[in-house]
Structure 1
Amino acid sequence: MENNDEIKIDLRSMVFDILKNLVIIIMVSMLAALAAHLVIKSTHKPTYKSKLSYVVVSTDTSVINNKDTQNRIVKVFQEVLESSLLRSSIKESLGYQDGENFTAEISTEIVQNTNINGVDENGNIIIVTVSDSDPLEAYYAAKALMSNCGTASDYINKNAILTVLEKPAIPSADSNAVNYIKTDILVFAAAFVVLCAIAGFISVKRDSIRNAEEIKEKLGSKLLASIPDVSMKGRKKAKRNLLVTDKHTGFYYIENIKKIRSKIELLKPEDQGMCIAVSSVSSGEGRSTIAANLALSIAMHKNKVLLVDMDFKNPSLHKILGYDGTIPSFSKFLEGEGTLTETTRSVENIKVLFQENAVNNSSEVIDSKNMKTFFSYVKEQYDYIIIDTSPISASADMEVLAEIIDYAVLVVKQDTAPSADINEAIDMLERNKCELIGCVFNGDTKSAKESSYGYGYYGRYSGYGNYSNYSHRDHK
C-alpha cells in the first residue's frame, strides 16, 4: 500500500464526472433561472417617461453672439424647471393635498443646436423628462409642468424666449423594462458554468481510483486486469447476462478475464485446492459478475471449480448465471439442512452453491465450525473454490472470512470507492494474513470501446439493519 497526497488533475475523468451529473446540473440551472425570473418580476418597478422639449431663443443680438451669456440663460431656465417651487405648482395643479406623496421625478438635459421634428434650432434645447411608475401620472405631471412654466421666461430674462418644441405624450412602454428571456439565459448560463466548475472541483478533490495506473500509484497493489465499461441495454433487452460462455460477450472482456485466470493459476498449490474470495469495498462494483466469470473461465482449463455465493447480504449469483431451478441456500446447509451434494447445483461447467435469501447473522455463520470444516473438505475435492462475498463496507463478513481463506482478489470500480477505504481493506487482508493476489480495475471507460457489452447484474445494498439486533447462534 502506498500513500500519495499529491492531487493530480485527470481531465478525462473530470469531464466524465461532469457529464455523469449533466442532467442534475441542467435541472438546477433551470431552477436558478426560474427563481431569478420570479424574484426580478416581483421586485421590478416599471418606469414610464413623458418628455417635452423647450428651445431658449435670445432676441438680443449681443446675447445671440455671446455663447457664454446664452449658456447662462439656458442654465437659469434649467434650474427653474427643476425647482421645488415649480414642483409645488405642479402638485397644486394636479389637485394633490398637503401630505400626499407626489412620486413623479423631473429631470432636464441641455442639448445645443439640435434638430427636433425636422427643424434646425439656432438656440439651446432643454429636454424635460417626467418619470413615474404610472404612465398617466407621468403624462399629467408633464402637462402641468408645461402649463406652469409658460411665463417663466418673463421673470428670468426679457430678451430670452422659452418656447415649447415638443409636447408630452402618454408613454406606452416601460422605459425600465426587463428583457426576461435574456436575463433567464444569462442566469442559466452562469449557474451552469458555476455548477460545472463545482462538479469539476469535487471530481479533482475526490480521492478515488480513476484509471488503471492508480492501482499501483495509490494502492501499491498489482493490477490483474482492466475490465471495460460498456452498456448493458442490449443484454437486458435480450435477457442475457454478461458471461464468458456467451458467444455475444466481447472479445476484450473475455481476454481480460483470462488474464486474471492466468495470474491466479500461477499461484495454485499443488497439493490442495485454492480458496479465493472475490470482494470489493462498495456495492455495485461488479464483484459478483467478476467472480462468476472467473469461475467459468478457470473451469475451461479442465479444472474442478466450485463457485460459492457468500454474499449473505444480497445474494445474486443465481441471477447472474440465469439459474431458474430451485435454489437451496448455502447457509441452510451450514446449519445442518441437507447434504453438500443436495445443496450443490451444476451450471455450465462448474458446481455452484447458491444463496437464496439474506442472512441476518452472516458473520456468525462464516465464523462457525461448520464453515471451517466445509473449506477443509472442498479443498480436497476441488481445484479452485471461488467465493463471492459481501462488500467490505457493508458488513464484517469479509474480515471474518479473511481469517479462514488464504487468497483474495479485490474488484475496484472506476471512480467509486475512496482510495482511503480501499487501502484500509488491503490493510485488513494483510492483518488477517490473507494474501491479496491483486486488484481488478472494473468499469474502465478508457477501454470501453474494445468490448461489446457491460457488466452483468449488480446488486444494490440497502437497509442492512443494526447488527446488535441479530440473533447469534452456535454452529456445530
Structure 2
Amino acid sequence: MTTPSSPSEQNHLATYLGYLRTSFWMLIVGAVIGGLLGWGASALMTKQYTATSQLYVGAANTGNSTDAYRGTLLSQSQVGTYAEIATSRALGERVARDLGLDQSPAEVASMLTAGANRDTVILNINAVAEDAEEARDLANSAAAQLTAMVAELNTTTAPDGPSSAPQLAPLNDALTPDAPSSPKILQNVGIGAGAGLILGLVAAVVRGMTDNRIRDRRQIADIVGAPAIGTISTSDNLSGSAGSHVLDFAAAPVIAAEQFRELRTNLRFLDVDNPPTVIAVTSGMPGEGKSTLATNLALALADDGERVCLVDADLRRPRVADYLGGDLQSEVGLSTVLSGAAHVDDIVQESGRDGLTVVTSGPQPPNPAELLGSQRFRDVLTDLDARYDYVIVDASPVIPVTDAALVSSAADGLILAVSHGDTTVDQLTQTTSNLTQVGAHVLGTVFTMTPKSEGKGYYRNGYGYGYGNTAAAVQRSAQAAKTSGSSVDASATGAAAQHAVDARETVGADR
C-alpha cells in the first residue's frame, strides 16, 4: 500500500517545481550550451577510423568427439592469451616492419586491441588510425603476423612433433571503414546537453533558494498578515503601450476586466459590519502598479453603479490625470485645497466615465508630507465620503517617503500592491513595519504583474519616482533591515465572507 505524502513534502515539491517554472529558461539554456560544447569538442577532435580482422582459434581435430570437445575448451582458454600477444610490443615490432611504419613498436601496439566474445573461439583484432586505409592495413597485418607468431611459438614449445596447442586461421580480412569511429558527434552532443541540463537544474534551484523576490501569495500573507483579495496579471491593456493604463470594462478582454471585478467583489466582503468606503491604495516601492490598481479599481466600482471619487494623493509623482486623460486639469487639485487656496467643490472633476469623478493632485507642493498629515486633508476625505459611495485614494509608495503612512491614517483602510517577481521580502517586511508603526489598517493585498500565458508585458515604464537619493537610501536600509514578526491588523471577516474571498483568490496566474 502506497503511503500518501505529507503536506510538508507536497509543499517542498511544489516549491521546487515553482523554482523550475520560474527559471525554466536556465534548463533550456544549459542544455543548448552543453550540446553546443559537445558539438564543438567533437569538431576539434581528430577523426579516428577502426578496422577489424577476425581469426579462428582451433585445435587439431582427431575425429574423436571427446577430443574435439576438449579442443574447443582448449581453444577458448587460449583466446585470452592470443589477445594479449596481439597487443604486445613484439607483435607491434613485426607489424611496423611488415608495413614499413615509422612508429615505435609500443606506438603500433597501442593502436591495436584484441578480444573475443564470450564462449566463442573467434578472435577480433581492431586497429585504430587517423586514416581509414591505414587502419585496414594495420588490422590485416596484425592478423597475419599474429598467426605466424603463434605458429612459431607453438613450434618452439613442441620441437619434436606437432603441437596440441590451438592454431590460428584467417576468418575475415579487415575492410576499409566508410566512416570514422570517433568522435561520436551525436553521443557527445547528448552528453553535453545532459550535463548542461543538470547544471541548469542545479542553477535554477540555487537561484530559487537564494532569490528573495516575492513569487508566491503565501509569502505575502506570512509577512503582511492580511488577506489576499486579488491578483492582477500582466496585460497589454495595462502596459501603457497604447497610451492607456486603464481598462474599458465594456470592451476589455474578459480576463483583465474579470480580475478587477473579482477584486471589487472581494473588497465588499471585507468587514461587512463596518465596510470601508475611504480606501487608500499604495505599495512598498515605486513601479509596483499601485496607480494602475487604484484607477482601475475605481473604474470597476463605478462600472457596477457605485458613485466613486478617485483622489490622486501622490503629490510627488501623480499619475491619475495622465492615465484617465480627457479634459482633466492638474492646475487645481488636492494640493490647492490643502493649501487653503480652493474649496472641495472647486477641485472635483468629471472623468467622462459614468459614476466616476476625480480629484487630481494639483500643483506639486514643496511640503507634501505636511499637507497630507494635516487636519484639512482628513476633512477633505470626510467631505468626499459623505458625497460618494467610495473614495479611492492613490497614495505614494511607503518606503521612500512617509506620505502613504499619513494617507492611510486618514483612510478607513488601505490596499497594498505587491509586484510579482519584483518586490523583495526585505522590502515587503519594511513596508509592513512602517505601516504597523502608524497603526495602518491593511484591508488586503493585491498581487500585481503576475505572469499569465495570455499576457505579454505589463506596465513597467521607468517609474523612477521623484524622491532622488532619499528613495535609494531608504531602500538600502530596507534591504539591510531584518525586522520580523510585525504584522498589520487585517479586517475581521465572517466565515462565509472569508470563504468567498479565498475562492476568488484563485483568479489570475500566481505561483
TM-score by length of 2: 0.64
RMSD of the alignment, in Å? 5.2
Whole-Å Cα distance in 1 between the matches of residues 69 and 274 of structure 2? Answer: 111
Q: How many residues align?
A: 437
Whole-Å Cα distance in 1 between the matches of residues 383 and 331 of structure 2? Answer: 20
Query: Do the aligned partners of 1:257 and 1:293 also contact (CA within 8 Å) in 2?
Result: no
Query: Do the aligned partners of 1:207 and 1:419 also contact (CA within 8 Å) in 2?
Result: yes
3-state SS of 2:107 partner: coil
Mark the runs of 5 or more structure 1 residues left unpaired by the alignment: 1-5, 115-123, 471-476
* Deviation by residue 1:66-94 (Cα, 9 ceiling, x = unmatched): 53666677666555444322212322333
Match 1:308 to one of 306, 312, 318: 312
How far is 1:280 from its partner? 1.4
- The amino acid that maps onto 2:49 is Y
State the partner residue of 2:360: 353
State the partner residue of 1:289: 292
- Corresponding position: 1:321 with 2:324: yes
Whole-Å Cα distance in 2 between the matches of residues 391 and 136 of structure 1? Answer: 78
Whole-Å Cα distance in 1 between the matches of residues 405 and 28 of structure 2? Answer: 45
Whole-Å Cα distance in 2 between the matches of residues 423 and 238 of structure 1? Answer: 35
- Corresponding position: 1:156 with 2:147: no
How far is 1:389 from its partner? 2.6
* Deviation by residue 1:116-172 (Cα, 9 ceiling, x = unmatched): xxxxxxxx5433222223323323333443554564314523636543332233222
* Deviation by residue 1:183-221 (Cα, 9 ceiling, x = unmatched): 54565466457645764676578584734x776554322
3-state SS of 1:401 partner: helix
Match 1:108 to one of 110, 114, 128: 114
Match 2:444 to one of 434, 439, 442: 439
Cα distance change, pair 24–246 in 1 and its aligned pair in 2 (3 A)? farther
State the partner residue of 1:133: 130
Cα distance change, pair 35–277 in 1 and its aligned pair in 2 (3 A)? same
Match 1:9 to one of 8, 11, 16: 11
How far is 1:39 from its partner? 3.1
State the partner residue of 2:495: none
- The amino acid that maps onto 2:50 is K
Cα distance change, pair 404–53 in 1 and its aligned pair in 2 (3 A)? closer
Whole-Å Cα distance in 2 between the matches of residues 245 and 76 of structure 1? Answer: 88
Query: Do the aligned partners of 1:13 and 1:210 also contact (CA within 8 Å) in 2?
Result: no
Cα distance change, pair 214–19 in 1 and its aligned pair in 2 (3 A)? closer
Query: Do the aligned partners of 2:313 and 2:361 also contact (CA within 8 Å) in 1?
Result: yes
- The amino acid that maps onto 1:168 is A
Cα distance change, pair 204–49 in 1 and its aligned pair in 2 (3 A)? closer
* Deviation by residue 1:275-298 (Cα, 9 ceiling, x = unmatched): 643111244544223322444567
Higher helix share: 2
Alignment of 1:229-244 (within 5 A): 229=233, 231-232=235-236, 242-243=246-247
Cα distance change, pair 100–228 in 1 and its aligned pair in 2 (3 A)? same
- Corresponding position: 1:392 with 2:390: no
Query: Do the aligned partners of 2:49 and 2:177 also contact (CA within 8 Å) in 1?
Result: yes
Alignment of 1:24-423 (within 5 A): 25-42=27-44, 44-59=45-60, 61=62, 66-67=70-71, 78=83, 80-97=85-102, 102-103=107-108, 104-110=110-116, 124-146=121-143, 148-149=145-146, 151-152=148-149, 153-157=151-155, 159=162, 162-180=168-186, 183-184=188-189, 187-188=192-193, 191-192=196-197, 195=200, 199=204, 208=214, 210-211=216-217, 217-222=222-227, 225-227=229-231, 229=233, 231-232=235-236, 242-243=246-247, 246=250, 248=252, 250=257, 253-254=260-261, 256-260=263-267, 263=270, 276-296=279-299, 305=309, 307-310=311-314, 312-313=316-317, 315-323=318-326, 327-328=330-331, 345-347=349-351, 348=353, 349-354=356-361, 365-368=367-370, 372=374, 375=377, 378-379=380-381, 381-383=383-385, 386-393=392-399, 395-398=400-403, 401=406, 405=410, 407-413=412-418, 415-416=420-421, 417-419=423-425, 421-423=427-429
Query: Do the aligned partners of 1:331 and 1:365 also contact (CA within 8 Å) in 2?
Result: no
* Deviation by residue 1:55-76 (Cα, 9 ceiling, x = unmatched): 3555584986753666677666
- The amino acid that maps onto 2:397 is P
Query: Do the aligned partners of 2:282 and 2:417 also contact (CA within 8 Å) in 1?
Result: no
Whole-Å Cα distance in 2 between the matches of residues 84 and 304 of structure 1? Answer: 97
Query: Do the aligned partners of 1:316 and 1:459 also contact (CA within 8 Å) in 2?
Result: no
- The amino acid that maps onto 1:318 is A
3-state SS of 1:253 partner: helix
Query: Do the aligned partners of 1:285 and 1:442 also contact (CA within 8 Å) in 2?
Result: no
Query: Do the aligned partners of 1:15 and 1:200 also contact (CA within 8 Å) in 2?
Result: no
Mark the runs of 5 or more structure 2 residues left unpaired by the alignment: 1-7, 156-160, 473-511
TM-score by length of 1: 0.68
How far is 1:379 from its partner? 3.9
